[in-house]
């Protein structure tokens, strides 16, 4: 299977939309289209709209951006930057330049817990789906790790070019591309006059407005111990719901793409650039809620690598970011700002998890 930056089909929906009631919502018209793209299932639901034709342009935009940002397709702009590593800068489109720039900002802000030059490690581990993959040789991990360094990415604003200083370096935007694309889709919908919509890129959710002026949208939070296995949303095992409007909700977890090693350990797809191994920070799942989806996407991956304490400290210093963490010792820790927005399913999960709201 050709790998892209998105989790493969069959492992989608870190978060899924609770559609219960959608079918029965009576008068409200909702134009909905579901397609397979970005190696995942994409659903866009435009509320108050009856013409599905308005969803054509958003899906075109998804494919256009996938063609530019996907490190696994040879003719993407990211692949061209990677092929010219150590040789020369590559001039790219505004989209690619902005996505790389945003990724670089987060690499800096997180001191490299998030690193867009993670490509050599991603290629080495080849973590695709449960059951696939082997633990690489330590010498190979060391060699790949030596090529990961966001400080060696040179951006030229005037020329719109990106240069990787060392040969062998590789950008991989897997941890931020879906977020960037979600924001772009939201802009297309807005330019078409859509005021309320749910954009679900395989679990990266972007909300435009709310269900109505009074009612927020409802987004289900997947149970990391019992994640959806077939992409269907009706059999969701969910820890609770998030009641949100105008925000993006993005989840990262160690159960999305992984293999079990001969040592019985779970080797998953979120890598710690410092060790070269899957991050072991005591977290099982991280959900970030903020208005820009590229930010939510970058932060969910960053927080997963950083661990709970560092992530909370980061949130404490940042405006407008909320989060819900699930730890490996079965605690759900949410930021204080989520007290009204996160409704825990106490009845079904009160025995398995403890819930606390914390001031970051
Ligand atoms: P998903 O793509 O499954 O929704 P994430 O947004 O957390 O999950 O992104 C994980 C992907 O990001 C990996 O598959 C890999 O391509 C890339 N990646 C892994 N570790 C890092 C890291 N520390 N920094 C930046 N990107 C990473
Ligand atoms: Mg991410």
pLDDT at 131: 65
Entry pTM:
0.92
Return the SS3 of 205: strand
Percentage of the chain beyond pLDDT 70 is 89
**Residue 11 confidence (pLDDT) above 50:** no
56 C-alpha vs ligand 1 centroid, how far in Å?
Answer: 28
Q: Which residue has the higher pLDDT, 130 or 359?
A: 359
**Residue 233 confidence (pLDDT) above 50:** no
Q: Cβ distance 76 to 69 under 8 Å?
A: yes
Helices (H) and strands (E) in the chain, counts: 9, 18
pLDDT in tens, 47-105: 999 999 999 999 999 999 999 999 999 999 999 999 999 999 999 999 999 999 999 99
pLDDT in tens, 164-216: 999 999 999 999 999 999 999 999 999 999 999 999 999 899 999 999 999 99
Mean per-residue pLDDT for 30-34? 97
Q: Cβ distance 323 to 310 under 8 Å?
A: no
pLDDT at 26: 57
Contacts of 121 (CB under 8 A, 6+ apart): 141, 144, 145, 148, 271, 273, 276
pLDDT at 28: 86
Mean per-residue pLDDT for 320-344? 98
Q: Which of these, 93, 100, 89, lies nearest to 162 by C-alpha position?
A: 89
pLDDT in tens, 287-317: 999 999 999 999 999 999 999 999 999 999 9
pLDDT at 228: 58
pLDDT at 31: 97
Q: Which of 231, 301, 311 to mutate to test the pocket of ligand 1 (most atoms within 8 A of CB)?
A: 301
Say if ligand 1 is within 6 A of residue 301 CB: yes
pLDDT in tens, 251-260: 999 988 888 8
Q: Which of 174, 204, 251, 271 to mutate to test the pocket of ligand 1 (most atoms within 8 A of CB)?
A: 174
pLDDT at 6: 39
Say if ligand 1 is within 6 A of residue 174 CB: yes
Q: For ligand 1, atom 3, which residue shows the shortest CA distance?
A: 7
């Amino acid at each position: 299977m050709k790998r892209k930056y998105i989790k493969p089909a069959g492992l989608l929906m870190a978060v899924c939309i609770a559609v219960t009631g959608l079918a029965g919502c009576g008068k409200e018209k909702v134009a909905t289209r579901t397609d397979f793209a970005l190696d995942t299932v994409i659903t866009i639901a435009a509320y108050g709209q009856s013409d599905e034709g308005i969803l054509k342009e958003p899906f075109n935009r998804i494919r256009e951006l996938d063609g530019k940002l996907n490190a696994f397709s040879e003719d993407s702009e990211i692949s061209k930057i990677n092929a010219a590593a150590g040789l020369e800068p590559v001039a790219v489109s505004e989209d690619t330049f902005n996505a790389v720039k945003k990724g670089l900002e987060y690499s800096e802000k997180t001191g490299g817990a998030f690193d867009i030059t993670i490509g050599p490690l991603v290629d080495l581990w080849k973590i695709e789906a449960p059951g696939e993959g082997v633990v690489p040789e330590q010498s190979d991990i060391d060699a790949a790790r030596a090529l990961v360094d966001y400080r060696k990415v040179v951006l030229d604003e005037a020329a719109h070019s990106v240069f990787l200083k060392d040969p062998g370096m590789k950008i991989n935007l897997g941890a931020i591309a879906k977020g960037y694309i979600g924001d772009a889709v939201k802009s297309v919908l807005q330019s078409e006059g859509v005021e309320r919509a749910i954009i679900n890129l395989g679990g990266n959710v972007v909300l435009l407005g709310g269900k109505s002026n009074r009612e927020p949208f409802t987004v289900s939070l997947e149970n990391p111990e019992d994640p959806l296995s077939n992409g269907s949303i009706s059999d969701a095992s969910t820890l609770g719901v998030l009641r949100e409007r105008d925000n993006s909700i993005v989840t990262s977890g160690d159960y999305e793409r992984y293999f079990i090693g001969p040592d019985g350990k779970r080797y998953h797809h979120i890598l710690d650039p410092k060790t070269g191994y899957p991050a072991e920070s005591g977290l099982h799942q991280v959900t970030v809620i903020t208005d820009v989806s590229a930010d939510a996407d970058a932060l969910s991956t960053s927080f997963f690598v950083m661990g709970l304490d560092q992530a909370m400290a980061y949130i404490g210093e940042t405006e407008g970011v909320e989060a819900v963490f699930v730890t490996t010792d079965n605690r759900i820790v949410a930021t204080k700002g989520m007290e009204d927005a996160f409704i825990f399913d106490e009845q079904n999960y009160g025995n398995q998890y403890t819930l606390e709201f914390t001031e970051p």
